Chains A and B, each alone.
Chain A
């Protein structure tokens, strides 16, 4: 079946450290891939997306590349800030329908000054 697996948290980093949050997926066909971010006390919001193989999504210094050969969509940022502390969710939509959205379990990131 279709699924999303992302690395367990929590992840704790010092400011300006490099961030990688791993995400792999299983899906039929060619899903669209997303990273959402949830700041404390708020709903999820889109961070970036990619809709076909080799696409790179980027936003606010974060990047992720749609790798079909490894079925991965890892999130990276070269230098994290305290304000990046949040929970990050990897997600996919398959089969052309918004109803077929699957979220990963989320990875909590804490950045210390």
Chain B
């Protein structure tokens, strides 16, 4: 079975540009999560969706960040405008609803803002 698929794997862009990260969760999963990982701050939960509905976006750092999930098989995380401090690895993960089920992570998007 295909796992969580993220694109692009790497993104390098100049500050001020719009960045769009994409995620395809595992089919049938009810939850989708967006995380950010940096050396300084570790792994941070940005937002998560349940059945395509955003449930908790308290981890989204600023209004420059937005996330959507238009259907069960696709989600985007946008940064507009981007800043150098947004440089990080962004992970998408999905899971079934039950507490004992693990989250399945994609391989991440390594984002560098120059």
Contacts and interface: CB of A to CB of B under 8 A. Distances in A.
B57 to A, nearest CB: 11
Contacts, number: 59
A41 B108 CA distance: 8
A49 B95 CA distance: 15
Contact of A89 (B43, B50, B97): B43
Contacts of B97: 98
A34 to B, nearest CB: 6
B105 A98 contact: no
Q: How large is the interface on B (under 10, 10 to 19, 20 to 34, 35 or more residues)?
A: 20 to 34
B107 A98 contact: no
Q: How large is the interface on A (under 10, 10 to 19, 20 to 34, 35 or more residues)?
A: 20 to 34
A93 interface: yes
Contact of A99 (B56, B98, B105, B106): B56
Contacts of B96: 98
B55 to A, nearest CB: 6
Interface in B9-63: 30-31, 42-43, 45, 48, 50, 55-56
A42 B9 CA distance: 11
Contact of A44 (B55, B91, B98, B100): B91
Given A32-B100, A45-B105, 10 more contacts: A41-B107, A42-B108, A43-B91, A45-B104, A46-B102, A98-B30, A98-B50, A98-B99, A99-B56, A103-B43
